[in-house]
Amino acid sequence: MSLALQSTGGHKVIDPGLVRRDFPIFTTAGLHPKLHYLDNAATTHKPSCVIEALTRSYAQYYGPVHRGLYPLAEQATINFENARRTLQQFIGATSPGELVFTKSATEAINMVAVGWLQSRLNSGDVVWVSRMEHHSNYLPWQRVCKERQAELRVIELTEDGQLDINGTPGLFADSTKFIAVSHVSNVLGIENPVAALCSTAREHGIPVLIDAAQSVSHLSLNVAEMGCDFLAFSAHKMFGPTGIGLLYGREERLSGMEPLLVGGGMVDRVGEASVASQWAGIPSRFEAGSPDMPGAVAFAAAADYLVSLDRDSVRLHIASLTQLAAEGLMAIPGISLLPHAGLPRSGIVSFTHRELHPHDMAQVAGESGVAIRAGHHCAQPLLNHLGLAATARASFSVYNDKADVEALIEAIQSAHEMFSG
Amino acid sequence: MMAQGLYKEKLLEHYKHPRNRCDGPIQGADAIERGSNPRCGDEVEVGIFLNDGRLDKLQFRGRGCAVCIASASMMTEAVAGMGVRQALLLCDEMHVWFGDLDHACTSGLPEGLQPLAVLREHPARQKCVLLSWEALAQAISGTTDR
């Protein structure tokens, strides 16, 4: 158990002050003395254990993976595959072979769209995404549908921002060949009922991909309980390094997927004629080129770190800060929350002001040391639907505390006073 | 509330009381062009009124952040009375000043545009500053190409 967990009345509670000690960005003297980092949905900061795992991999255990017969190379290979096993346990996959290292969640989703779905999709078939998707879980499906003269349809949202599954006729029809939805919306912070969706889809033989990029840092992920066919997330949003992500695919699904990249490390036999070449087994066939061993090791260190914090305590801590922020923001004149106030949110509060542009709110906040995001958050289909061009967004993590929320409220109140009237 | 950071008094004053801004469509202009930034939803329409090769008057309308509106407002004042070539040159210089951070300084900015100089330190707001200037350059080019 991490020292940052305090036991209170039989419950484990996150102590954000102690958590912050794990993160050099907050503790290095004089570096960012007034930083209130509330842009965790964009990317999270890195604890020392992740940074050390990365540097140790380069400084002490660096060598080629799957390519050398000397001790250093063997150690590099062992560390790389151990990282895969750690992440397998982290998401509850059946075997390490079901995990493919990618450079991002975006790459993982593109791999499934082109490598798995494209050859199975025909004219008249339907692929479903939801209204709240990030562009990375929208454009790959839009493109593959265009390629194959198939139809991309959108699961709309209820007024409460929930997936309107009951109001979506044809979602589980025979023509549906794939469903791709996010676990948590990066704009609304709404958590989708992915287990129920996967369960019904499976009854109809429809594969489902879950984009877990926004949920992985604060909700427990278990692919067996979720029942998904594919799952994608990146390391950098869960305290891991930038430039590495993960694709989970059920073994039978991955076995039927074509690699996007071909080259070194993904092939068993290369013949003169292309038909004579034979791809390696899974997951190697999807990891062409020298793999990012240090990144994978640091990714696994991030997963270990999250587990050490106790995932239920993380979820409760973030939920309580999110609620506090939602209430505080609503008390500021002119502020509206998306889709509206009073909803449970998973780590994210998006808001607009009756008169102020989100850029101006974010700029004023930034000048007070409060880091929030303003823009369309790579979710234009959702924002267009809501009739908005941009929102301001605050997103929370384990190292945030009430002082961060108070600084946010104060900054937005300042912006309101500065620009109004 | 005191102005802080990039939102100096003059910039805020132009945002709150923009000059030459129309609520409805711009009427009677010799050319009207629009600039938009889909990333943040800013949209500005700039109309120019010519008289013997000079920009007699400029008007704008649209929606945007404080920087976008203040820049458009300052532009309508700074450019009024200029010859079209001189105005086009200023549009180009604005791009250099705000697009090329290695460029020496903004000392060459006309007096009325000096409150924008601080924006050079905020490259993320570059598009907000330049949106109306791009529309102006297009409007002028449209009339001189005829």
What domains can be seen in chain B, in order of their start residue?
Answer: 9-145 (3.90.1010.10)
**CB within 8 Å: A359 and B65:** yes
So what's the pLDDT on residue B145?
A: 58
Domains of chain A: 5-46+310-419 (3.90.1150.10), 52-307 (3.40.640.10)
pLDDT digits (tens, 9 = 90+) for A136-185: 999 999 999 999 999 999 999 999 999 999 999 999 999 999 999 999 99
pLDDT band with cut points at 50, 70 and 90 for residue B3: very low
Mean pLDDT of A225-229: 98
So what's the pLDDT on residue B97?
A: 86
* Nearest CB to A367; choose among B1, B5, B16: B5
Is A382 an 8 Å CB contact of chain B?
A: no
A420 → chain B, closest CA residue: B16
Q: Give the rounded distance of the alpha carbon of A179 from its chain centre.
A: 17
CA angle A204, A210, A211 (to 5 degrees): 155
pLDDT band with cut points at 50, 70 and 90 for residue B2: very low
* Nearest CB to B6; choose among A363, A375, A376: A363
Mutation for B interface: A359, A367, A377, A380, most B CBs within 10 A: A359
So what's the pLDDT on residue A230?
A: 98
Residue A378 annotated to the active site = yes
**CB within 8 Å: B65 and A360:** yes
What SS3 class is residue A144? helix
Mean pLDDT of A40-45: 98
Mean pLDDT of A8-25: 89
CB neighbour list of residue A280: distance below 8 Å, 6 or more residues apart? A265, A266, A267, A268
In SS3 terms, A16-29 reads as: HHHHHCCCHHHHCC
The contacts found for A257-263 with CB under 8 angstroms, 24 or more apart, are A257/A111, A257/A112, A257/A115, A257/A116, A257/A286, A258/A114, A258/A115, A258/A116, A258/A119, A259/A115, A259/A285, A259/A286, A259/A288, A260/A110, A260/A111, A260/A114, A260/A115, A260/A286, A261/A288, A261/A289, A262/A288, A263/A288, A263/A289
Lookup result for tokens 């502020």: A335
Mutation for A interface: B40, B68, B121, B125, most A CBs within 10 A: B40
Average pLDDT score over chain A: 95
pLDDT of residue A58 exceeding 50:
yes
pLDDT of residue A245 exceeding 60:
yes
* Nearest CB to A390; choose among B6, B41, B68: B41
End-to-end CA, chain B = 49
Give helix B66-79 / helix B84-99 axis angle, nearest 10°.
Answer: 150
Chain A: nearest CA to B108, how far in angstroms? 26
**CB within 8 Å: B6 and A367:** yes
Determine if the peptide bond prior to A339 is cis (ω within 30°): yes
Mean pLDDT of A81-93: 98
Q: Is the ipTM of this complex over 0.85?
A: no
Q: What percent of chain A has pLDDT over 70?
A: 98
Longest Cα–Cα distance of chain B, Å, equals: 49
So what's the pLDDT on residue A10?
A: 66
- Between strands A99-102 and A245-249, the pairing is antiparallel
Of the ranges A112-121, A275-284, A371-380, A399-408, which one carries the lowest mean pLDDT score? A275-284
Chain B: nearest CA to A327, how far in angstroms? 23
pLDDT of residue A248 exceeding 80:
yes
pTM: 0.92
So what's the pLDDT on residue B98?
A: 84
B37/A38: higher pLDDT: A38
**CB within 8 Å: A367 and B66:** no
pLDDT of residue A222 exceeding 70:
yes
